[in-house]
Structure 1
């Protein structure tokens, strides 16, 4: 049964008049209708559709995979088109709703309506820290890809006729790439490819080879205005990463530092991503970092939103680069490469966990179109993204499969199964992956080793208030002595990892949103055993070692160091869990029960008490070497979330049963899936 609640605009009437006009012309003598007249009608129709409702379709036609950026770059023609398409896209006047500027502006500033979808608050449309964080970004990426691809097609048509078939063939299977920041980079290379860091790039144009500004290095505002907020963002003419002097109107990016910090954090990020795939959890637990009563996420768990935050904070930097704040982040070209990777991670996770999806949850903070406290679910309209010209919005159910938007990923192509995805995850991120098999006995950071019988997983859990410090901040974890110079912390040899908190710099983010994160300790502890600093990985030895050597530091915007016990709502605790190694490469290791809190490790440390959620209870201290079934750190509240409003009351709410038919590259039917 289909239940639809929607608002409709005037566009159907306009389009009907156009169709009738075409019909009249055809009826009264087809031979007298000039091609120029038909073209004029089509152009007017396109203009009317753009003004009334922009329909997001993704790239129409067959479904092809989005490739990792370093893989795409190996295909010279496709890489060339990707760059030229980005160059053309970024050059569109900022007044155009389909400009790079305005599409990026949907996410945060300049806080204006897009595609006629009105706002009720100051802030961007993005619903971060909620059950809709991940699904909202999928049609957003599809919109970006659709518009970018239209520029690619224009580039193809600009080549001489004798060359056009070559470029058309390259464009036929082209999709925008992703940047896999967790995978091991090629030998001798940084986690941040030079493809993103080079200021210029040589491309083949219709006029021959030219060197142009790299459209992946930065985006140039033309003009830059007060719509982007106060100083320095209303004076910086280009997007910046880790600006050398964030307080200056004229400065430069420090991409080398960006790369160095990513290299130091990659293993930690790899382990976080791997653990998210391995542990059994509900969709809401892995998709959003929001936790607590009403959010739909009752239990403490790491999330893809949490790892996502780290990339924002690392690339933007405490000096205030654009990625450091949600309000500005989408203007940086790396945003799109990063978010496409997060979309990929969730698509892979969906293959592994097909029985769980977007549930009911309460918005933790207000944004452009919604207020904090409103309840949303899988049928909530993902505003401002229209799926047709009649004014209907996408819902999470509409985009459960990426194929409906014209793309898949290398790991989720036709024929993908839970077994094949597990094998891919193990190969890319697992302790038995190629990155871990290299001879890196004394490498910094230590890459890890395959799991063994008797191993434990050790985690440093983080709970805090998202906006407790009035903006983004980073928690750094160390084993050993820590320098007093905070600028050395992100690349310190004894850094275990970091947890970036992406508090946005906007009027909307004043609510006390409880979030969770994690810094894995296992790989670093393996390294200490390999170097002889730690006797073994049994819980007794690890407990004593961490009690003596583990510490953490906090830095917020502007490079201000904050004592951990002065960070509102911050709770740090170490937990461990026995692990049973996988028996085959297409299986995951098994976590035996829930991680147990080792309360004795952090007792007495600043912010070193375990987090106890509302309605929860503290756990008993973990006894090293103890036996028995591991228990949860607290008792989750599995009750229904507080419902201040009915999700179905929202204009545009659309509850629809859909059936998706999958076909191969030749259009032959494979199978159908009902959502």
Structure 2
């Protein structure tokens, strides 16, 4: 591995333990490891929502229910009011890294139920070390998967077929309806997943055009996806208007490791306040340069979501080279239904751990109290079960995951190589 910045920190040698889960770069998995991973994913995707079980049960083994913890199907006040967020995920506040860490462990626990005798962990999509101009590992682009014994099955990491319909009663953004019908298959750039009533005609025409490109040359849309993600990760981003709108996301991951404290590292809201107080763009006599600005982990995280999904909404500048590309990863409502979401977030969690070890905060996290990004109304708005104007801290519940759950007692090992993480110490749940 070449990115030494991710290899810094206080490496802990863990004792042999039945609960150790080894998270590896997905490109490094053996055939047997991939076979087991695919079988476990098929298991959770085939477990349809149980109508007799609470949909927000954190011990569920239904992928539909687990994916639904993040955003849609919305619940509580956020079901029909844009002032509240109807999903449990946290964005734009200090709980962004910790909530998603608990979320990953929830899915890992479900995957473990496929075969309790074999330890399983989510591999990470290494977004810094790429395969030339093809940053997305091939496993995510293959429609079928062939096991070691020659058996071929639909690839559960390529797409997910919704086990139930999702109705969007919120519509906070004009002309964007994120309703999905039962049997809908998640899509990525350059396709569109806007299949609500106002958008379905445009989406059908757009997706038909994309399929025609594949007819002319097989794999064209995969190449477009790889190119788009590469441009976000490694090169300057130019949108369909020829306007430069961003730089290297891979570099931003590394820059985030130098954020001076957890609060500004963790989210965009806090980082923006930090930078606003220290840099004056209105004059040459500002307090620093752009290179000195804090880079929050959430920013490159957001960039990869947009790169994989694409996103276009009237009135919002496009960051996509292909108009009308609106894949699921590009919007928060249904991003978690795309299986690649969890491998992306596994890498985010790895960078989070690298920051912790670099700054000697592997056993605790220090917050700047009452700072922007520490209130439930910041950014997305309050999540279900959290009242408005609630100050957030490390004791704030990471709903729907219970405190001291099995998820918090599991040991994780990241192989980067030999970057170790003890989830029991890293989680305040």
Q: Secondary structure at the match of 2:145?
A: strand
Q: 1:413 to 1:381 in 2, by over 3 A?
A: farther
Q: Which residue number corresponds to residue 130 of structure 2?
A: 184
CA distance in 1, matches of 2:259, 2:398: 27
Residue 234 (structure 1) shift: 2.3
Closer, same or farther: CA 86–358 of 1 in aligned 2, 3 Å: farther
* Residue in structure 2 matched with residue 322 of structure 1 by the alignment: 328
Whole-angstrom CA distance in 1 between matches of 2:27 and 2:157: 13
Q: Please say if 1:312 is aligned against 2:305.
A: yes
Tell me which residue corresponds to 1:380: 396
CA contact (8 A) 1:348 1:411 kept: no
Contact 1:203 1:209 in 2 (8 A): yes
Equivalent in the alignment of 2:19: 62
Give, in whole Å, the separation in 1 of the partners of 2:272 and 2:228: 35
- What residue is the counterpart of 2:164 in the other structure? 223
Q: Secondary structure at the match of 1:201?
A: strand
Residues 131 and 406 of structure 1: CA distance in aligned 2, closer, same or farther (over 3 Å): same
Write the mapping of 1:394-433 to structure 2, written as runs, cut at 5 A.
404-411=409-416, 413=418
Q: Of the candidates 257, 263, 268, which is equivalent to residue 230 of structure 2?
A: 263
Name whichever of 318-327 and 350-359 sits farther off. 350-359
Q: What is the 5 A alignment of 1:76-475?
A: 76-95=31-50, 97=55, 98=60, 99-112=62-75, 121=84, 123-153=86-116, 171-172=118-119, 174-185=120-131, 188=132, 190-204=134-148, 209-226=150-167, 231=177, 233-235=179-181, 237-245=184-192, 246=194, 247-248=199-200, 250=204, 251=207, 254-267=221-234, 268-277=248-257, 279-291=258-270, 301-318=294-311, 319-355=325-361, 357-359=365-367, 360=369, 361-363=374-376, 364=378, 365-387=381-403, 404-411=409-416, 413=418
TM-score by length of 1: 0.43
Gaps of 5+ in 2: 1-16, 77-82, 172-176, 211-220, 235-247, 279-292, 312-324
Compared with structure 1, are the counterparts of its residues 659 and 80 closer, same or farther at alpha carbon in structure 2 (3 Å cutoff)? Answer: closer
RMSD value, Cα: 3.5
Distance 1:280 1:270 in 2: 16
Report the CA distance shift for 1:321/1:290 in structure 2 as closer, same or farther (over 3 A).
same
Alignment of 1:497-536 (within 5 A): none
CA displacement at 1:176 relative to structure 2: 1.3
Task: Tell me: CA distance 1:228–1:213, structure 2 relative to 1, closer, same or farther (3 Å).
Answer: farther
| Contact 1:131–1:296 (8 Å) recurs in 2 | no
Please tell me whether the aligned partners of residues 291 and 298 of structure 1 are also in contact (alpha carbons under 8 angstroms).
no
Q: Larger C-alpha radius of gyration, 1 or 2?
A: 1
Q: What per-residue deviation string (whole Å, max 9, x for no partner) do you get for residues 502-525 of structure 1?
A: xxxxxxxxxxxxxxxxxxxxxxxx
CA distance in 1, matches of 2:388, 2:337: 25
Kindly state the Cα deviation for residue 273 of structure 1 after the two structures are TM-superposed.
1.5
Runs of 5+ consecutive residues of structure 1 not aligned to the other structure: 1-59, 114-119, 154-167, 417-657, 663-672
Please report how far the alpha carbon of residue 111 of structure 1 lies from its aligned counterpart in structure 2 after TM superposition.
Answer: 1.5
**8 A contact 1:200–1:213 mirrored in 2:** yes
CA distance in 2, matches of 1:296, 1:386: 35
Query: Following the alignment from structure 1 to structure 2, what is the Cα–Cα distance between the partners of residues 366 and 384?
Result: 14
Higher relative contact order (CA 8 A, sep 6+): 2
Distance 1:374 1:289 in 2: 19
In structure 2, the residue matched to 1:620 is: none
2:284 matched residue in structure 1: none
Compute the displacement of 1:227 (Å).
5.7
Contact 1:63 1:407 in 2 (8 A): yes
Q: Distance in 2 between matches of 1:674 and 1:132?
A: 11
**Which residue number in structure 2 is paired with residue 541 of structure 1?**
none
- CA separation of 1:414/1:273 partners in 2, compared to 1, >3 Å: closer, same or farther? closer
Contact 2:94/2:263 (CA < 8 Å) preserved in 1? yes
Q: CA-to-partner distance for each residue in 1:300-332, whole Å, 9 max, x for gaps?
A: 521110110001111111232111111111100
What is the Cα deviation at residue 377 of structure 1? 0.8
Q: Return the TM-score normalized by structure 2.
A: 0.66
CA distance in 1, matches of 2:295, 2:410: 28
Counterpart of 1:370 in 2: which secondary structure? Answer: coil
Quick one: distance in 2 between partners of 1:209 and 1:87? 17
Following the alignment from structure 2 to structure 1, what is the Cα–Cα distance between the partners of residues 417 and 355?
10
Query: Does the 8 A contact of 1:84 with 1:152 survive in 2?
Result: no
